Amino acid sequence: MNLTILTYPDKRLKQKSKNVTKFDENIHKLLDAMNETMLLSNGIGLAAIQVNHPLNILILNIPDSEGNQPTENLMEIINPILIKKEGSTVYQEGCLSVPGFYEDIERYETITINYQDRDGNTKTLDADGLLSIAIQHEMDHLTGNLFIEKLSYARRKKFEKEYKKAIKEKRL
């Protein structure tokens, strides 16, 4: 099922997500629908809150060297906890909830998280590169934060102006 993606400035994106406690069919259906929605929208990552489910769930599928996103590369991360962070890196990020806007954002270079898979099994993951950046971006959604909140005051103002103009011209 292709779900509707909430877009900025929808206040529902500011909700704090809650942990998943039951790893049942409902969660599996939500994960499958999130994957379909992400692929149809040309995304590489999606948090459940972006489809109006305030749960600590994120999915990622970093395209391979040919730009493909096979299901075997899909990562489903539930109830993630950041346990280690090192270094810093800058990448031009975008977000399905802020369509058409991209900005350089600073993140930790490498991270380690604990999380649960769709069956509730606990896992540890070391991430670097784009995967590390994407996990940090998606984890920010779980606390109600968007990447635009990391912009300097000047860049944020420029963003608000451009984004409002785009909405008005119905370019979004």
Position 58 contacts ligand QAP (CB under 6 A): no
Nearest distance from C-beta of residue 20 to Co ion, angstroms: 19
Strand-pairing partners, residue 56, are none
> What are φ and ψ of residue 35, in 5° steps?
-65, -45
Pick 23 or 91: Cβ nearer ligand QAP: 91
Nearest distance from C-beta of residue 121 to ligand QAP, angstroms: 25
160 assigned to active site: no
Position 159 contacts ligand QAP (CB under 6 A): no
Nearest distance from C-beta of residue 91 to ligand QAP, angstroms: 6
SS3 state of residue 48: helix
Position 99 contacts ligand QAP (CB under 6 A): yes
How many other CB atoms sit within 10 Å of the CB of residue 33?
16
Torsion of Cα atoms, 49 then 18 then 132 then 7, to 10°: 10
In single-letter form, the type of residue at position 146 comes to L
Strand-pairing partners, residue 122, are 116
Contact residues: ligand QAP, CB under 6 A: 41-45, 91, 93-96, 99-100, 133-134, 137
